[in-house]
């Protein structure tokens, strides 16, 4: 744009919470935020993302931009107070919007819905979540207005964390398992932060694999049994239901298929009686 006949460009933008020697301190140079802040800035917006949120991060965050004009330093208002610490599913969370205005301002909160129009939330200075849910994650901003004008805050990102949900397990390939073939068990869950996986075999205290997949590159009859996975993050752990791997039998030539089928039937019958793997 142009001010007093001069082209005006924005030369620097940053977020701050502190002022030293009458100058705002860029969060990127603030030792309390080292390695934990990111700016995602576009032509008309600049989103602040804080990772590893701490109790000491509770503050009013303001935005400043500096232009190429003398005295061209502007601070965005209002400021938004973010909750301290990790935001956990089910907890109570309050976002506070503050602004200096005379006459007193009216407040409106919005949630950004991607490329769609923002969604109106509440017409108060505080946006309160009594029991916050993962679906509440997203970018929020407030608008303050009186009869003299209107101002919009910058976005604040809310990331709701939660422990793993009940893991689901699957086996590939499906159908009969033949000795010597490749078999993969897969565990999956929904969690934030992402879960780490560990595979166990029933009645065996040692873990068999770490990661979402347990792979048998050449499965043997001794691998038969019941397996389960555990999914864990810093908020908790959940274990899956058992998945049962049948005793395997080496594939026989087609002409011997009759005796092979009879042998497999005997093995499965004994398994149902004794409920434990039979080693060939």
pLDDT at 72: 43
- Work out the average pLDDT over 111-120: 70
Q: Is the pLDDT of residue 2 over 80?
A: no
Tell me the percentage of the chain whose pLDDT exceeds 70.
Answer: 72
Higher local confidence (pLDDT), 232 or 268: 232
pLDDT at 90: 95
- Work out the average pLDDT over 29-38: 89
Higher local confidence (pLDDT), 5 or 219: 219
Task: Please tell me whether the peptide bond between 173 and the residue prior to it is cis, using omega within 30 degrees of 0.
Answer: yes
pLDDT at 185: 95
CA distance 247 to 183: 13
Closest C-alpha among 270, 217, 228, 278 to residue 249: 278
Residue-averaged pLDDT of the chain? 78
pLDDT at 251: 54
pLDDT at 183: 93
pLDDT at 213: 95
Both structure tokens of 160: 């709701």
pLDDT at 99: 81
**What's the CA angle centered on 157, arms 83 and 58, to 5 degrees?**
25
Q: Which domains are delineated in the chain?
A: 10-67 (no CATH), 78-158 (2.60.40.10), 168-248 (2.60.40.10)
Long-range contact set of residues 247-251: C-beta below 8 Å, sequence gap at least 24: 247/221, 247/271, 247/277, 247/278, 247/280, 248/177, 248/178, 248/179, 248/181, 248/219, 248/220, 248/221, 248/223, 248/224, 249/178, 249/179, 249/221, 249/280, 250/178, 250/179, 250/180, 251/178, 251/179, 251/180
Instruction: Give the pLDDT confidence of 258-270 residue by residue, as tens digits.
Output: 443 332 323 333 3
Out of 41-50, 66-75, 112-121, 203-212, give the one with best mean pLDDT: 203-212
pLDDT at 24: 80
Higher local confidence (pLDDT), 265 or 99: 99
Please check whether residue 214 is in contact with residue 185, taking contact to mean a CB–CB distance below 8 angstroms: yes
Long-range contact set of residues 166-170: C-beta below 8 Å, sequence gap at least 24: 166/238, 166/240, 167/195, 167/197, 167/229, 167/230, 167/231, 167/238, 167/239, 167/240, 168/240, 169/227, 169/228, 169/229, 169/240, 169/241, 169/243, 170/243
Please check whether residue 271 is in contact with residue 248, taking contact to mean a CB–CB distance below 8 angstroms: no
Question: Residue 191: helix, strand or coil by DSSP?
Answer: coil
Higher local confidence (pLDDT), 150 or 68: 150
**What's the CA angle centered on 56, arms 54 and 60, to 5 degrees?**
105
Higher local confidence (pLDDT), 180 or 270: 180
pLDDT at 164: 97
Task: Please tell me whether the peptide bond between 226 and the residue prior to it is cis, using omega within 30 degrees of 0.
Answer: no
Instruction: Give the pLDDT confidence of 204-220 residue by residue, as tens digits.
Output: 767 788 899 999 999 99
- Work out the average pLDDT over 215-242: 93
Sign of CA dihedral 265, 270, 271, 277: negative
CA distance 249 to 86: 51
Q: Write down the H helix ranges in the chain.
A: 257-274
pLDDT at 171: 93
φ, ψ for residue 208, nearest 5 deg: -100, -20
pTM: 0.61
CA distance 39 to 49: 6
φ, ψ for residue 264, nearest 5 deg: -65, -40
Instruction: Give the pLDDT confidence of 117-170 residue by residue, as tens digits.
Output: 576 777 888 899 999 999 999 888 888 888 888 888 888 889 999 999 999 999
pLDDT at 85: 75
């Amino acid at each position: 744009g142009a001010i007093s006949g001069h082209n005006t460009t924005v030369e620097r933008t940053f977020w701050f919470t502190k002022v030293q020697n009458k100058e705002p301190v860029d969060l990127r140079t603030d030792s309390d935020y080292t390695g934990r802040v990111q700016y995602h800035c576009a032509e008309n917006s600049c989103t602040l993302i804080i990772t590893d949120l701490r109790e000491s991060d509770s503050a009013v965050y303001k935005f400043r931009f500096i232009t190429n004009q003398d005295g061209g330093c502007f601070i965005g208002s209002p400021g938004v107070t973010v909750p301290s610490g990790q935001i956990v599913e089910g907890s109570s969370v309050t976002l506070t919007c503050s602004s200096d205005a005379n006459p007193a301002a009216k407040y409106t909160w919005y949630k950004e819905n991607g490329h769609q129009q923002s969604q109106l939330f509440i017409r108060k200075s505080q946006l309160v979540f009594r029991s916050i849910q993962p679906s509440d994650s997203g970018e929020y901003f407030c608008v303050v207005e009186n009869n003299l004008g209107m101002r919009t805050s910058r976005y604040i990102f809310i990331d709701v964390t939660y422990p793993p949900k009940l893991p689901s397990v699957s086996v590939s390939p499906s159908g009969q398992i033949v000795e010597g073939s490749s078999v993969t068990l897969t565990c999956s869950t929904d969690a934030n932060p992402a879960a780490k996986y560990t595979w166990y075999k029933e009645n065996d205290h040692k873990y068999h694999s770490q990661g979402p997949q347990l792979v048998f590159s050449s499965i043997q009859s001794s691998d038969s049994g019941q397996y389960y996975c555990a999914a864990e993050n810093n908020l908790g752990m959940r274990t899956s239901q058992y998945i049962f791997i049948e005793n395997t039998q080496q594939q026989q030539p087609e002409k011997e298929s009759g005796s092979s089928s009879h042998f497999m039937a005997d093995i499965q019958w004994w398994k149902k009686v004794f409920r434990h793997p039979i080693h060939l």
